[in-house]
Amino acid sequence: MNTRARPRAVLGLQWILGLVLIVESLRLAFEPSAARHFVQAGMPLWMRPALAWTEIAAAILFLVPFTTLLGGYLLLVIFFLAAMLHILHSEFDVGVLLVYAMAVLVTLVYRSNAESETTHDGQRATERV
């Protein structure tokens, strides 16, 4: 891949993931079918909005450059807990959560590598003479 395109691709992945998570979380919070599913699964009613709004907050943090790391780690915890809840209720289709988690990891690793290549004076290590 073109090294100039890589930052835009990762930023695109970050934004698409963040926006999809916000939309899906809003659906979880407000769609009647989500409420019925939670009731049928025997989960407390308070859990659905708590999960949805926590995920929305983490997704927003993930999109803000200064808080991307915090938001990313929160999203990983949320995805893990959501996968455990699904598995404990005999719903083993957690593939989407795994894809979301890997997209977060790719973004965080890329961001970490890009920051480690930058020196204290703001130049990239490859630009130094």
Q: How far apart are CA 62 and CA 121, in angstroms?
A: 26
Question: 92 is written with which tokens?
Answer: 């083993």
Q: How far apart are CA 92 and CA 112, in angstroms?
A: 32
Q: What pLDDT score was predicted for residue 34?
A: 87
Domain boundaries, the chain: 5-117
Q: Where residue 1 falls among pLDDT bands split at 50, 70, 90?
A: low
> Using one digit for the tens of pLDDT, what is the confidence trace for 48-83?
999 999 999 999 999 999 999 999 999 999 999 999
Strand pairing partners for 118?
124
| Helix (H) or strand (E) run with residue 80 in it | helix 68-88
For residue 11, pLDDT over 90 is answered with yes
Question: 25 is written with which tokens?
Answer: 């979380």
Q: pTM to 2 decimals?
A: 0.85
| Helix (H) or strand (E) run with residue 31 in it | none
Strand pairing partners for 124?
118
